[in-house]
């Protein structure tokens, strides 16, 4: 294994951490309607756990409303059950053909709680990035010990690795700043 491969593999893992943090942030309710709030929910569709986004079209006609229109009308009851079981805290309104979800505005206290949750997710992302760095660094040190790479190559690679970690931590900080701003808007 070469130093380039070690760094490339580490960077791939770092990109996955960023994707994870982004997904986690998109699932946090901000008082605005977003398809991401419901599209990851699983519905028991004829005995098979199926994502809502595979059973229905999800639209957002305004900032406080999500409309779910199932392609199979018989799935409405199961979709409704899945929404009620989720931790969204939203009651669905069903007219027999479509389900409407009215997204209430968040209280100041709830916004502050969600800010703490978002900060925790960001910190978990930073820890994951540092873990990737540690694993890659250990691999580089092993390569040097096995005389596969020189000491200079090891130090150069560790510096490059640190630059990647810094870049991805900055991305997490950007995502966090944007989500905090979104949460604290009224």
Arithmetic mean of pLDDT over the chain: 89
CATH code for the domain of 94: 3.30.1360.40
**Tens digits of residue pLDDT in 111-157:** 888 888 899 999 999 999 999 999 999 999 999 999 888 889 999 99
Cα 30 to Cα 179: distance, rounded to the nearest angstrom: 9
Look at the pTM and tell me if it is higher than 0.75: no
Range of the domain at 40: 35-102
pLDDT tens track for 72-83: 888 898 999 888
Q: What's the total number of domains in the chain?
A: 2
Q: Which domain-ending residue is among 102, 117, 137?
A: 102
- Looking at the chain, the whole-number percentage of residues with pLDDT higher than 90 is 50
**Whole-number Å distance between alpha carbons of 100 and 65:** 7
pLDDT, residue 16, reads 95
Do residues 111 and 90 share a domain? no
Q: Which of 59, 82, 102 marks a domain boundary?
A: 102
Residues 179 and 112 occupy one common structural domain: yes
Rounded distance between C-alpha atoms, residue 84 and residue 92, angstroms: 8
């Amino acid at each position: 294994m070469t130093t380039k491969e070690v760094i490339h593999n580490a960077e791939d893992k770092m990109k996955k951490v960023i994707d994870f943090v982004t997904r986690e942030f998109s699932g946090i309710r901000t008082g605005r309607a977003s398809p991401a709030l419901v599209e990851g929910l699983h519905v028991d569709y004829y005995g098979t756990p199926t994502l809502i986004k595979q059973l229905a079209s999800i639209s957002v006609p305004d900032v406080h409303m999500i409309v779910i229109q199932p392609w199979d009308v018989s799935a409405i009851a199961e979709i409704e059950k899945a929404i009620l079981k989720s931790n969204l805290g939203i009651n669905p309104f069903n007219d027999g053909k479509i389900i409407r979800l009215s997204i209430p505005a968040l209280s100041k206290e709830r916004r502050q709680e969600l800010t703490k949750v978002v900060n925790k997710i960001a910190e978990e992302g930073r820890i994951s990035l540092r873990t990737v760095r540690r694993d890659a660094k250990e691999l580089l040190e092993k390569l040097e010990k096995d005389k596969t790479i020189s000491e200079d190559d090891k130090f150069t690679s560790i510096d490059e690795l640190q630059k990647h970690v810094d870049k991805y931590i900055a991305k997490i900080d950007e995502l966090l700043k944007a989500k905090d701003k979104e949460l604290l808007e009224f």
